[in-house]
Chains A and B, each alone.
Chain A
Amino acid sequence: MPQEKKSNLEIIATREINFQNEEKDKRAAELVIANKELIYQNEEKGKRAAELIIANLELVFQNEEKGKRAAELIVANKELAFQNEEKEKRAAELISANKELLAFTYVSSHDLQEPLRKIQTFVTIILENENQNLSENGKHNFRRIQSAAGRMQQLIEDLLAFSRISTTEHVFEKINLNSIIEEVKTELREVIEEKNAIIEVSEICQARIIVFQFHQLMCNLISNALKFSRPGLAPHIIIKSNIVKGDKSKDDMLIEEKEYCHISVQDNGIGFEPHFSKRIFEVFQRLHGKEEYAGTGIGLAIVKKIVENHRGIIRASSKLMHGAIFDIYIPAD
């Protein structure tokens, strides 16, 4: 082989080997970098794995806690269900007890009337037959018996009326309140004439009410106004009613923006001290002795019960010797 060709081949081969070596070095360097990268990735993976283990432990713990809370909730719910059952039992018992009480009131009032009537009748027989044989004092005492028996009769009748207000069917009718007021005025016309009373009725609206109960309500309010007039001053009673929107500033029992029929009955009578404004609605609560004014103290209790039957509220305000005003709010629907 010629010398040139051999050295050319050697040069090419050497160049090739050098080139390959360079490439190998490059590759090796790349590998080193790649390995470093890999090591780094592995470290990171290791860190992530460690973090995952912690996270998993946390999760397990959370799940355990959740399990505990769920178990507690189940217990709490059972307790609640039990309490609700008890509450419903109590509510049912209350309703039943209430019904019994009303029935009892009705029956006993009814049964009490019979012996009372006998007392009254026998007293009248004695006063008639023994008129000659009785001293004035004796007759006087028998008349006191009659008076007491009469009061007892009134009490029993009032109790009966009160229990009837709660037990009878509630039939609502939409009606102009004026017609009821006119009926009451006719019923009370004797007293009205006797006292020269003026009953002014203005702006009367329609409302959905239980007619016979509302009749009783108006009768009680108006006859009270007539009864408790100021001596020497003719009673002046003003009755108004209109539709208003609930306003908590007027009365905190009213629901804001709900429509109510507001009825007010105002008089110019003897009034009452403001601190009695709630007590007067209690059963058999009176502010005067029986010698001053007749009555059993149940009139306003009946009025309040009737207002409650209509899901309404009633308020009384007054100043002694400056009349009184009764405000009634009944839902307009």
Chain B
Amino acid sequence: MTGQWNYELCNKIQLLCNDNGFICVNITAHSTSDLYGHLNLLLCDDDLDDCSFFKEALKALPRSTNLTAVHDGEQLMNLVTGEAYQLHDVLFLDLNMHRKNGFECLLELKLNEKLKRLPVIILSTSLDREVVNLLYKNGAHYFIRKPSEFSQIKIIIEHALTLITQKNISQPDIEDFVLS
């Protein structure tokens, strides 16, 4: 067998034995990306340097990922509200964007029946307790304060992706909301 088996990604593993003695392993997963450990990431950040850091960091991680990057809130909403839009596994959403900021996008996403299931991880340059609490209240999954060291950027994105694949849908406790 080739490839990595990530059992923690799966919901159910059934071992079935048929009459002829063949053993069949039945694996149920949430999506094909879960099954293969592949993640479809959506990034919305108007800062091109930060987008570049994110892409570089992803390249260095031992994961199979697909990244779509958009550069402003309106572009984001246009993309996700398209009829044919298939939910990504996670959205990394920058907070401070001109025109439509991350907070407005978060609100709109969580009001949408289909889109509210998309886990949102907020990216920001500063850490303000009140802002953090407000974001948590409005349904964001995690909060990341953008690190200034590249090695830290890699670590924190890996951490976020691990958490996302483990706790797929539900929001974590407030103590775990801010990643570091």
Contacts and interface: CB of A to CB of B under 8 A. Distances in A.
B153 A121 contact: yes
Contacts of A120: 148-149
B126 A121 contact: no
A35 to B, nearest CB: 109
- Main SS class of interface, A: helix
B53 A121 contact: yes
Interface in A191-246: none
Interface of B: 47, 49, 53, 56, 125-126, 146-151, 153
B150 A121 contact: yes
Nearest to A117: B148
Contacts of B49: 118, 121-122
A115 to B, nearest CB: 9
B149 A121 contact: yes
21 contacts: A110-B126, A113-B125, A116-B148, A117-B125, A117-B148, A118-B49, A120-B149, A121-B53, A121-B147, A121-B148, A121-B149, A121-B153, A124-B148, A124-B149, A124-B150, A125-B53, A125-B56, A125-B150, A128-B150, A128-B151, A153-B148
Residue among A120, A122, A124 having the largest count of chain B Cβ atoms under 10 Å: A124
A169 interface: no
Contacts of B146: 117
A292 interface: no
Interface string A126-143: 001000000000000000
Contacts of B56: 125
Given A118-B49, A121-B53, A125-B56, A113 B149 contact: no
A184 B49 CA distance: 38
A124 B14 CA distance: 47
Contacts of B153: 121
Interface string A30-46: 00000000000000000
A114 B150 contact: no
Contacts of A113: 125-126
Interface string A161-193: 000000000000000000000000000000000
Nearest to B126: A110
B98 to A, nearest CB: 13
Given A122-B49, A125-B53, A153-B148, 11 more contacts: A110-B126, A114-B125, A117-B125, A117-B146, A121-B147, A121-B149, A121-B150, A124-B148, A124-B151, A125-B150, A128-B150
Residue among B47, B49, B147, B148 having the largest count of chain A Cβ atoms under 10 Å: B148
A110 B124 CA distance: 12
Q: Which 9 A-B pairs have the closest CB atoms?
A: A120-B148, A124-B150, A117-B148, A125-B150, A124-B149, A118-B49, A121-B148, A121-B150, A114-B125
